[in-house]
Chains A and B, each alone.
Chain A
Amino acid sequence: MGRSPGRGREKENMRLGSSILGGKPMRIPGIIDVYQVGNEWIARSWPKVQNQPNSALQLLWRKKFKDAHATIKKFQGLYKAAYTAIQCPVGKMWIDIAMTSIMKTGTWWTPRLYAWHEDYVLYFAPDGFPGSTCRYLLLPRPLGGSFPFNVFNYLPRHGTTWADTMKWNDEGIICPKGKRPKKRWGLSFTGNPVERWIGDEYPYPPFGTSTLFIKDAPNGITVVSLHLQPVIEGDQEGWALVYPPVYVEPTLWTGW
């Protein structure tokens, strides 16, 4: 067989034809039905962009899917317990929600989400904490650790149940071409976020690393991080449950 026609010169060295008689077939990925007749290459169609199988787009998608699955396998401790306890819409499991969230946010999934803390504690001091008049203080447990994400940007919500905090919205039916229709669900908040208490003695906001003073939370709070804007460009407007709801009830503070 002679030298294969280069990608850039395919049209120069080739002509379109319908006959395949007397030709010698050649396999070129992405091009179908190419035959050599004498010194001439004959194709039954011009080369086209490969879309399957194993196209770059498909391989990328499979890699993202496998990576997301591997990430879910690594869930542990409180994080995993909270994720498995979420309320899911009909026909979905927590793993579907996690998969969707990871595929949308990708880079946000780091081990720190479950490595830097084991639980939370919401202390209630009737007379205020030393040096402040604030009565509610949220801390990661063990004390001295850090919040796994910036709680100042993603403030906890009032309430200690799923219904107090979040809800699934029926967003109609999507009908992908060639596939059966399926229901689209959106996730949003129902309650209000707690209000931060900023004391006089902190000249700099400690931006959510190890303590969060809260103005009022008598019925407890829910620590949750729900991203309502997609990170990946070109994606539809959506949501990603980066940190599943963890319910924290007030505990009387008796000193450190």
Chain B
Amino acid sequence: MSTTVTTPTPAAVPAPTTPASRFSFAPLNVGRFVVWGLFTLVLAVAPLIFTSSLSITMLSQMGIAIVACLSFNMLLGQGGMLSFGHAVYTGLATFVAIHVLNAIGGGLPIPVSLVPLVGGVAGMLFAVVLGFVTTKKAGTPFAMITLGIGELVFAMSLMIPEFFGGEGGVQANRVVGKAVLGITFGPQIQVYYLLAIYTLICTAAMFAFTQTPLGRMLNAVRDNPERVEFIGYSTQRVRYIAFIIAGFFAGIAGGMYALNFEIATAEVVGAARSGPYLLFTFLGGATFFFGPIIGAILMVVAFVLLSEFTKAWLLYLGLIFLFMVMYAPGGIASLIMMNLRVAAYGKLRRLWGSYLALAGTVLVMLAGAAAMIEMVYHLQLNAALGPNLRFIGVPLNAEGLDSWVGAAFVTVVGLAMFEATRRVFARQWGEIQGEIEHEIRRKEAL
């Protein structure tokens, strides 16, 4: 070792301020146990509360989405690497897992419950190969490379039918191999609990990663990639290793997908899947660890439920995303944390009025805009049914001028009222933030 840790001369080190700093005892972090305990409880109990088969399916999908989005955020939120092609790793792992499932059916002695782990290894290996090229660059070029590789893999998926199964994809049966303790994974509830276990373990593992030297250096690379080089670390190496680890967890999500749906088609590697990972992780909040969990839950709810309500749901999603980027780039998680901070200082009460007003005006604005959008969709897709439709109980005539004028009027009025309430809110928020800063400084001076 050519470098040694120099100890300062005794005169330079001031005596410890309190005797307590000499102790290595640290109080047990109760909060942490409560949060993780709650998380485990929710995972265990959810299917007992939401018992319909649709709910159980959705809960299973949420588990998969949580692991996928958390692995995506390892790159985005923790590492500052924006990837447009994350579905490559989840999707390729899905294909590998499906083939392994089929092999198990043909006699391969791997328990079905370990298939997600196989997916994880597959995801990791693909990340080793593709990540080498991808992490050569950073920032915007990195994003473009992930896009290019995503397109490459998607385009190739139609060319290699042995692996990708051509148009129809590859199917498998998860009720194969030896049934342990009578668990065959035939019923969805059994699959759910297996996926829940994986979700819990993966979430815990990815959280643990954030508390390791590599995890911290990854954050450092996000904040200042240049400085990292000057403290002895190779920025590219940090990114590459993190990419591989993220690929591992993405692969587990892919394996979970294979178990759940028993089919893998080309679209699992495509942009139609990478896009939502990005969208919803960002919506949930990339700057906090639990943000992607929120995003993942929203993603499943949006895809399964929202799409039933309205054909325009992708448009609404895009608009919400735009607003979030402009006004709340930290996502829902940051909004929650900011309000928790305000509540901790006892000032949340003052904002109730503004929040209600904001919500009200947004609803009005949305009602008007949604009415117009629904009318357009109606003209587009259901023209054969005639121009009349019902929108939240209000009869509208898609070809009638008064419906259009009415909807436009409602939208404009809502917009104006929203802007007015927003300004009031911004002022109040600013005041409160100022007061909080003041109190923090006061406490520091003590």
Q: Answer whether A and B are interacting partners.
A: no
